[in-house]
């Protein structure tokens, strides 16, 4: 009861030393999957076609294997489905299946030529919530994500593409599933008289192989010749938060201070302090700063040029406000002596705007820098890990894959009737793509040798930051893989902190609220 | 109004120059030039069509024998830089089996079946392709080329002056761009699949071979042998696809 726990605090002075709580240690191995080469080794001369080609080449074997297993003995009217190598090899009236990349043609998708044409004439349109115009006409009989497009009405057009060409897809089947540009799928059906391919069935690559727990650490030790420790200590919990939104303008940062005191074990009663002591790591999943993106939005640019001031590109050094980063740095530096932190950048953070976003530079954190290792250190990032977005790392043996939310937000724009973000995250896992819509509507680095967004191994935890509310589920794969999917809400709006138990992978919420007096 | 002169008489044709010996002020003419002598006079020649003027029609436009721009474009500079890196990697192979982090994607790929980053051995090789390629003999390359020629109905035209190496490399560039020449359903004679290794623009040939190899597309090892020989022979131009040079050419037809 509360009265008993407060008895420790409300007592006369004595010589008994109170027990000092120790924080559980965190085992952490970051993986450099999304780190780009530095400096002059980063090339931008290549086209994005290389990326699409590599993505198809990497995922086609997997999807074709699943498709051939599923449709090997499929028969309609005495006809079996045959496999076609190229998308354009389908013949009218012949039942066949083929694999390729999905491309969706949507009326409201950003078109760079239209943007350039309109830039001079009209004000910037408000950012689109969805790329599609919405439900097509007479869509009563079809529900689902692509009701309009499935009927071929004013809505999205779905096409299948590979090196040989493009094939338009139709059929009522399409409205049932989620499809976005860039997903690799295998479709079975036949070509109708219009030249469109009527889809009867669809298969995706599904989840890749999932490494067992502790594989990253054991694999490393085996490579270095050390003996593999069989016994691992029991892990604690991992705290996950997103969307701190430090702006430096608002005076009310009470929520952040409450969070700080909770994590440090300074507030609440000893029982909660015990719980806080079991938190071994804090993961900040994006948008720690409120609007520090280096590229000004269209409205800001219009305001800057309208004022008639000097035309400065980038930021205006006279009006640069260092308060937000300073505040964030002080906050982190207060936490860091006690708890290790992993910081992922988000859409509004001061780092590159194209995926994969590179780590926020140590120069932004003059105080927290003491806890970071220099970039070329062989032992890795260290206590304070400013990492990429998306990021892959191994914490307490479990493989985590985290993003700051941009891929899921972009997928959300493609689906006109779907509001279920968990379904989108599950679909991204089944497509094996961390960012399926890159490079179509999501800016990204032009990878040449292989698409880095293809998931080669299935994570144990897939966390996505900056979502409107907290949601979680477990996704199961065909080979027994289990992934805990977490949608992390914005702390600034909801005040929720997620604690993920590292033994059972079950999340729980701690909510911070400031009650208004008036 | 100028004062009436008695000498002018009945004014049939008004003239400007009177017979009066008194000199008049004039601001035109060669003697009264106000402009400096160095300025070129405005000629009326430009009003005419320049194509009709003989001088311009006879001018000789000096054409370079090899029309290469003096400063290379950034794209070609990027490709030559990366092919130089490849050449260096070939010259000094990495000593330990851990993958070279700088090479392909700037990241060490975890153990995976279909990976795109540098494989188990260093510098982007999956197994001992380099050793295999070095052991390929000239006759093997010629045999490979004869097989390729045999697959076509007619011999290639416009390729008479090229060496076999050059022909092999150009075929390598183009592989995957056209589909199968046989009808659907026929068994291909050539064992390895030459398709699906494109695109060939914007990437060095050796890197393209390594990428195709890493993605499991089984590019022919004879092409690798030719590439290695060309790089070691000091022919840096062989790293860039010929169509790449054509497509990025800065010379516009006049």
A41 touches chain B (CB under 8 A): yes
With beta carbons under 8 A apart, name residues in chain A contacting B195. 163
Q: Mean pLDDT: which of A30-34, B101-105, B214-218 is highest?
A: A30-34
Give the pLDDT of residue B205.
Answer: 84
Would the CB atoms of B198 and A37 count as touching at under 8 Å?
no
A244 to chain B, minimum CA–CA distance in Å? 29
Question: Residue B100 above 50 pLDDT?
Answer: no
Q: What is d(CA A138, CA A126) in angstroms, rounded to the nearest whole number?
A: 28
Distance CA B79, CA A46 (A): 10
Query: Which chain B residue's Cα is nearest to A32?
Result: B107
List, as ranges, residues 53-82 from B with C-beta within 8 Å of A.
74-75, 78-79, 81-82
**Separation CA A144–CA B179 (nearest Å):** 37
Q: Which residues of B are less than 8 Å from A53 in CB distance?
A: 196, 198-199
CA A163, CA A145: separation in Å to the nearest integer?
27
The closest alpha carbon to A23, from A272, A240, A279, belongs to A279
pTM score, whole prediction: 0.75
Q: What distances in angstroms separate CA B45 from CA A175, B28, B37, B40, B48, one per listed residue?
A: 72, 21, 20, 13, 6
**pLDDT grade for B107, boundaries at 50, 70 and 90:** very low
B69-96: average pLDDT: 58
Q: How far is CA A9 from CA A267, A280, A490, B212, B228, in A?
A: 12, 26, 34, 68, 77
pLDDT, mean over chain A: 83
Q: Which two tokens stand for residue A251?
A: 């005076």
**Residue in B74, B107, B111 nearest the CB of A35:** B107
Q: How far apart are CA A301 and CA A481, in angstroms?
A: 48
Q: Shortest CA distance to B223 belongs to which of B215, B234, B212, B237?
A: B212
CB contact under 8 A, A163 and B176: yes
**CA–CA dist B213, B197 (Å, integer):** 9
Tell me the per-residue pLDDT of B66-78, one tens digit each, with 9 for 90 and over. 444 444 566 667 6
Label residue B98 by pLDDT band (50, 70, 90).
very low
In this predicted structure, which of A308-312, A476-480, B89-93, B169-173 has the lowest mean pLDDT? B89-93
Structure confidence at residue B180 as a pLDDT band (50, 70, 90)? very low
Most confident of A491-500, B20-29, B48-57, B245-254: A491-500
The whole-number pLDDT of residue A292 equals 76
Residue A125: pLDDT over 70: no
Between B106, B109, B195, which is nearest A37 by CB? Answer: B106
Positive or negative: CA dihedral A280, A285, A286, A287? negative
The pLDDT score that the predictor gives to residue A313 is 61
What is the complex's ipTM, to 2 decimals?
A: 0.73
Put simply, the answer to whether B112 touches A456 (Cβ < 8 Å) is: yes
Distance CA A60, CA A433 (A): 13
Q: Please indicate if any CB of chain B lies within 8 Å of the CB of A388.
A: no
B116–A54 C-beta distance less than 8 A: yes
pLDDT of residue A279: 92
Please name the residue of chain A whose CA is at the shortest distance from the CA of residue B74: A45
Interchain CB distance below 8 Å, B117 and A450: yes
One DSSP character per residue, B15-47 reads -SS-S--SPPP---SSTT--S-TTSPPPPSGGG
Report the alpha-carbon distance of residue B70 to residue A75 in Å, rounded. Answer: 64
Asked if B207's CB is within 8 angstroms of A448's CB, the reply is yes
Q: Residue B110 is nearest to which of A447, A452, A457, comparing CB atoms? A: A457
Q: What pLDDT score was predicted for residue B102?
A: 35
Query: Which range has the worst mean pLDDT, A65-69, A359-363, A465-469, B52-56?
Result: B52-56
Chain A residues closer than 8 Å to B198 by CB: 53, 163
Mean pLDDT for A276-297 is: 85
Helices (H), A358-473: 406-414, 421-430
Q: Which helix (H) or strand (E) holds B86?
A: helix B74-91
Which pLDDT belongs to residue A462? Answer: 95
CB contact A309 to B (< 8 Å): no
Centre a 10 Å sphere on the Cβ of residue A396 and count the other Cβ atoms it contains: 27
Q: Do residues A32 and B101 touch, judged by C-beta distance below 8 A?
A: yes
Share of chain A above pLDDT 90, in %: 34
Between B127 and A124, the more confident residue is B127
Provide, rounded to the nearest whole percent, the portion of chain B with pLDDT above 70.
46
Q: Are A108 and A101 in contact (CB under 8 A)?
A: no
Q: What is the pLDDT of residue A229?
A: 65
As a whole number of angstroms, the distance between CA B251 and CA A195 comes to: 41
A47-67: per-residue pLDDT in tens?
Answer: 888 899 889 989 999 999 999
């Amino acid at each position: 009861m509360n009265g008993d726990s407060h008895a420790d605090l409300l007592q006369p002075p004595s010589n008994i030393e109170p027990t000092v709580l120790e924080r559980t240690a965190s085992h952490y191995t970051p993986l450099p999957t999304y780190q780009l080469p530095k400096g002059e080794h980063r090339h931008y001369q290549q086209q994005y076609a290389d990326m699409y080609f590599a993505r198809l080449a990497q995922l086609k074997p997997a999807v074709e294997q699943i498709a051939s297993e599923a449709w090997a003995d499929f028969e309609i009217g005495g006809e079996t489905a045959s496999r076609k190598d190229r998308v354009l090899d389908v013949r009218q009236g012949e039942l066949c299946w083929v694999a390729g990349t999905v491309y969706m043609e949507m009326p409201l998708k950003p078109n760079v030529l239209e943007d350039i044409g309109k830039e001079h004439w009209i004000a910037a349109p408000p950012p689109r919530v969805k790329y599609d115009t919405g439900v097509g006409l007479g869509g009563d009989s079809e529900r689902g994500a692509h009701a309009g497009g499935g009927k071929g009405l004013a809505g999205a057009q779905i096409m299948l593409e590979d090196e040989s060409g493009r094939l338009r897809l139709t059929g009522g089947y399409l409205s049932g599933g989620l499809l976005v540009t860039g997903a690799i799928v295998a479709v079975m059906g036949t070509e109708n008289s219009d030249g469109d391919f009527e889809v009867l069935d669809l298969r995706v690559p599904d989840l890749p192989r999932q490494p067992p727990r502790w594989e990253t650490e054991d694999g490393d030790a085996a490579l270095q010749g050390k003996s593999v420790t069989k016994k691992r200590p029991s892990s604690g919990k991992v705290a996950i938060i997103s969307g701190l939104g430090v702006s430096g303008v608002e005076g009310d940062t009470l929520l952040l201070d409450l969070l700080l005191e909770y994590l440090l074990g300074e507030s609440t009663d000893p029982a909660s302090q015990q719980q806080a002591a079991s938190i071994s790591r804090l993961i900040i999943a994006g948008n720690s700063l409120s609007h520090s993106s280096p590229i000004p939005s269209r409205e800001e640019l219009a305001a800057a040029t309208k004022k008639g001031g000097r035309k400065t590109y980038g930021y205006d050094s006279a009006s640069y406000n260092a308060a937000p980063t300073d505040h964030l740095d002080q906050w982190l530096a207060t936490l860091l002596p006690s708890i290790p932190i992993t910081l992922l950048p988000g859409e509004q953070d001061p780092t590159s705007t194209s995926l994969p976003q590179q780590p926020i530079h140590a120069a932004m954190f003059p105080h927290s820098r003491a806890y970071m290792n220099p970039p070329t250190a062989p032992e890795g990032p260290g206590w304070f890990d400013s990492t990429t977005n998306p990021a892959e790392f191994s914490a307490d043996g479990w493989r985590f894959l985290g993003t700051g939310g941009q891929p899921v937000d972009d997928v959300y724009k493609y689906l006109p009737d779907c509001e279920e973000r968990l379904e989108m995250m599950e679909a991204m896992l089944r497509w094996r793509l961390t960012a399926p819509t890159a490079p179509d509507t999501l800016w990204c680095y032009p990878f040449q040798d292989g698409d880095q967004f293809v998931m080669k191994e299935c994570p144990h935890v897939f966390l996505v930051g900056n979502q409107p509310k907290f949601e979680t589920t477990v996704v199961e794969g065909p080979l027994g893989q289990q992934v805990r999917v977490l949608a992390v809400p914005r702390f600034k709006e909801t005040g929720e902190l997620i604690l993920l138990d590292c033994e059972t992978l079950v999340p729980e919420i701690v909510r911070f609220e400031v009650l208004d007096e008036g | 109004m100028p004062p009436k002169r008695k000498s002018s008489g009945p004014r049939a044709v008004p003239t400007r120059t009177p017979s009066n010996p008194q000199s008049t002020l004039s601001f035109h003419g060669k003697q009264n030039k106000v402009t400096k002598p160095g300025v070129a006079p405005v000629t009326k020649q430009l009003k005419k069509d320049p194509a009709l003027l003989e001088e311009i029609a006879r001018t000789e436009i000096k054409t370079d024998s090899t029309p290469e721009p003096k400063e290379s474009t950034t794209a070609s500079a990027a490709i030559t830089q990366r092919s130089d890196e490849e050449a260096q990697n070939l010259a000094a192979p990495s000593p330990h089996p851990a993958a070279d982090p700088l090479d392909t994607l700037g990241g060490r790929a975890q153990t995976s079946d279909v990976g795109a980053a540098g494989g188990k051995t260093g510098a982007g090789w999956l197994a001992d392709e380099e050793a295999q390629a070095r052991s390929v003999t000239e006759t093997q390359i010629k045999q490979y080329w004869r097989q390729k020629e045999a697959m076509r109905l007619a011999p290639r035209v416009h390729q008479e002056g090229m060496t076999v190496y050059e022909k092999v490399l150009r075929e390598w560039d183009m592989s995957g761009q056209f589909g199968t020449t046989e009808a659907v359903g026929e068994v291909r004679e050539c064992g390895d699949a030459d398709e699906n290794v494109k695109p060939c623009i914007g990437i060095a040939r050796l890197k393209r071979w390594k990428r195709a190899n890493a993605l499991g597309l089984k590019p022919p090892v004879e092409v690798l042998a030719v590439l290695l020989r060309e790089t070691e022979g000091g022919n840096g131009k062989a790293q860039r696809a010929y169509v790449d040079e054509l497509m990025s050419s800065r010379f516009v037809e006049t």
